Amino acid sequence: MTRSPRPPTVLVLRALGLGDLLAGVPALRGVRRAFPGHRVVLAQPAGLAELAQATGAVDAVFPAEAPGRAVPSLAHWAAPAPDVAIDLHGNGPESRDALAALRPRRLLAHACPDGPPWRGHANERDRWCAFLHAYGIPADPLDLLLPPPTAPSPAPGAVVVHPGAASGARRWPGSGTRPSYGACAPPDTMWCSPAVPARRPSCTRSPSAAVSPPATC
């Protein structure tokens, strides 16, 4: 019996955290649509695999992570060379070189000679969609919604707030404390913060006293 030929692979490097994965969803979906016959593999921390596959843009996760926002080694890649490698990790030569070492047929990266200029002050979603646009790959920064989970919620009715980063220096001011966002919902709302490295997920309930809402939330 003849085996079906293995589909070509697109390897995307974005080995960062939860917020970075969510901000990268529009770009990942652009990649998925641009390469419908390819197997899209995302190099990222293994702990985020379930969420990555829930985006509908990723066929498999290749475990890869490094401390902080450093570039992980991809030397444990044992599959054939990717058909296409895409650097959604950063704009430096380190992430480009990690992918180039796998000898892909085509490499897309800011640090490549044909790469677009780095948009340092752009919104994260806009930046990576514009990066793909420069290579002729359409991507919509607003294409970011995830389907609702099929499993029951462990905290029904709660509002989940991501603190912004695993590193305390990069979180929103006052994140992790109810006053920084408590005015955006009625009193007695349960607020939950997802787990980040070295920190467990937590839930707290707003006090019953009403809080004056800000102008916008």
* 78-99 residue pLDDT tens: 999 999 999 999 999 999 999 9
**pLDDT (0 to 100) of residue 182:** 56
Mean pLDDT of 188-192: 62
- In this predicted structure, the answer to whether residue 52 has a pLDDT above a threshold of 70 is yes
End-to-end alpha carbon distance in the chain: 60
- What single DSSP character describes residue 11? E
pLDDT at residue 189, as a whole number:
62
68: left (phi over 0), alpha (psi -120 to 50) or beta: left
Mean pLDDT of 71-76: 97
